[in-house]
Structure 1
Amino acid sequence: MKKKLTPYLLLIPQIILTILLLAGLVTGITQSLGVVPAFGLEKPTLAYYKEILSRPDILESVLYSLKTALVSALVATAAGSVICGIFVMAGKTRGAMIRVIQLPVIVPHVVAALFMINIFSQNGILARIAWMLGLIEEQQQFPLLIYDSWGIGVILAYIWKEIPFIIYFVIALMANINGSLGEAAVNLGAGKWTAFWKVTLPLCKNTIFSGFLIIFVFALGAYETPLLLGATTPKALPILAYQQYIHPDLTHRPYAMALNGLIMVISLISAVAYFKLMQKNTRQMSGGEKNET
């Protein structure tokens, strides 16, 4: 009897977490529609969504968040894929070097932000080195890479964290494909790099794009990195949502939830794209296994 109940008992923590997640999600959606009975707001409306999408400062924050997330994800994905290819072609997909490259994955984003401040700020290491070499007369002449309106510091922090993630996410599959189909292409007369570009890389594209979607959605919804490295204005969407949430005027709560809803819609679109890619990968793998048999 105890053995029969064990699987159900082990599911209890997961069930509780799922209920809490769904309760929070439903509450957030209803509040974003202006239904907060405790504050005297009882009629559902899309006015809050319309207002945040028409305010210039919020639209600027939307563009800022999309820009930092998109640029960092694109650069990290491209650089990570190239580094993966170099290691795969060199036959070094395991060992100490790979472990060192993957170290940033386990470093918290807060720590990564502190690294960026210590290195790239106008009082950081690079500014001091430039001053010592006589390249600048004072440290304040060093280019503003942190707290800038372009989000350069935020992008640099994400790139440093995300390149190792892409390598970790892709390298095993890339090595496997290159060691089988890539070698088959080489045996048929193709050069190593030709086989890589025309056989290995195209077969990895769905996985690479899936990695891109993961880091894009994470960067879009992250709070700590743009808080520590971003400019005073424009603010990233998560920061703007938090400020609206803690506003002394409690009627601002729906604005916070509407901003979170905007992030959620973009994330859901990315999640659907990710799901479709996973389905496509599964079908391709199933087709490959059937062909082998």
Structure 2
Amino acid sequence: MSRTRSRGRAGLLVLPAVVPTVAVLGAGTGVALLQSTGLMPLVGAPEATTATYRMLAGDRALRDGLVISLGVATASTVLAVVIGVGVALLVRTTRAGGRLLHLAAAATVPVPHLIGAAAVGLLLADSGLLARVLGLGPDSFPPLVAGPWWVAVVAEYAWKESAFVALVVLAAVAVHERELDEAAAVLGAGPWQRLRRVFLPLAAPAATAAGGIVFAYVVGSYEVAWLLGRTYPEPLPVLAYRLYSDVDLASRQEAMAVALMTTALSVTALVVTAALLRRSAAVRSGDLV
């Protein structure tokens, strides 16, 4: 009963932030749905149709964009979670170095992705800082920017989002991790056992939640892929933006349809993350056999 009341109070506390967010996103999604189905056309009379979705279903650019979006988001999320959890562990186990890492992570989060993408481009381009330090010319330096493996795009997302993951994990383990770690050490547990039995179980829910947020964000973000990625195939957000900015107004319906597909992917990622967190919480509380 008390747990239900605490959840109700928590829900009331987040309502002032949730209601405007849902209203804005709902209005934008509704307009995109109406435009993509022909009910709010820029030219011509309104007519309900699914022709845009049927056309996109057979479009190779959409299929390739979907593969690239999922691949970049998956690689970026895995690297961000691994690096972020590692940074959080270092912060908790070292003193002076941990403080510096904490400050570095906190300073990284406010940096816009657009500035981060420009910095990564200047660093990893074939005539950038790294190539000059290594003394390699454009012909001998690997194509990390706009290359076939999207290295620069994944590197930028992993760098930026790993700081976010580290801060989320640190906030989650800060309450009980040190006391439990000391208790395990007193009982004779070694460093590896304390890492496996204390730190990782406490960090896992926060890392899962942060990873789901990172995946959803990367799937829907376009500026980094637009600056550092290839011109083809295009991730779904870049494809949607290009179609939206096309001089042919008829392309607006396709742009809205692609944007809705991207939104559906992001929402699916968040729903799956919430289900994993609920299952993990049930297992820890003994509700599942």
- Fold similarity call, TM over 0.5: yes
Deviates more, 1:30-39 or 1:59-68: 30-39
Assess, with a 3 A threshold, how the Cα gap between structure 1 residues 216 and 41 changes in structure 2: closer, same or farther. Answer: farther
| Partner residue in 1 for 2:152 | 153
The alpha-carbon deviation at position 93 of structure 1 amounts to 9.1
TM-score of the aligned structures, taking structure 2 as reference length: 0.83
TM-score of the aligned structures, taking structure 1 as reference length: 0.82
Deviates more, 1:28-37 or 1:264-273: 28-37
The alpha-carbon deviation at position 197 of structure 1 amounts to 1.0
| Partner residue in 1 for 2:57 | 53
**Alignment-mate amino acid for residue 212 of structure 1:** G
User: Paired residues, what number?
Assistant: 272
**Alignment-mate amino acid for residue 258 of structure 1:** A
| Partner residue in 1 for 2:164 | 165
| Partner residue in 1 for 2:266 | 267
Name stretches of at least 5 consecutive residues in structure 1 with no aligned partner.
1-10, 289-293
Structure 1 stretches of 4+ with a deviation exceeding 6 A read 11-17, 281-285
Q: Could you give the per-residue CA deviations for residues 78-135 of structure 1, whole angstroms, max 9, x where no partner exists?
A: 121122123223356963441123322111111111111211101101111222xxxx
Q: CA–CA distance in 2 between the matches of 1:21 and 1:209?
A: 24
| Partner residue in 1 for 2:35 | 31
Deviates more, 1:92-101 or 1:210-219: 92-101
Helix, strand or coil: the match of 2:109? helix
Helix, strand or coil: the match of 1:190? coil
| Partner residue in 2 for 1:240 | 239
Q: CA–CA distance in 1 between the matches of 2:282 and 2:96?
A: 29
Helix, strand or coil: the match of 1:39? coil
| Partner residue in 1 for 2:196 | 197
Structure 1 contact 241–259 (Cα < 8 Å) conserved: yes
Deviates more, 1:149-158 or 1:26-35: 26-35
Q: CA–CA distance in 2 between the matches of 1:114 and 1:202?
A: 37
Structure 2 contact 29–260 (Cα < 8 Å) conserved: no
Assess, with a 3 A threshold, how the Cα gap between structure 1 residues 44 and 92 changes in structure 2: closer, same or farther. Answer: farther
Q: Could you give the per-residue CA deviations for residues 224-278 of structure 1, whole angstroms, max 9, x where no partner exists?
A: 1111111111112111101111222222211111111111111111222343355
Helix, strand or coil: the match of 2:168? helix
Identity of matched residues, %: 29
Structure 1 contact 149–234 (Cα < 8 Å) conserved: no
Q: CA–CA distance in 2 between the matches of 1:74 and 1:157?
A: 13
Q: CA–CA distance in 2 between the matches of 1:31 and 1:256?
A: 9
- After superposition, the CA RMSD in angstroms is 2.8
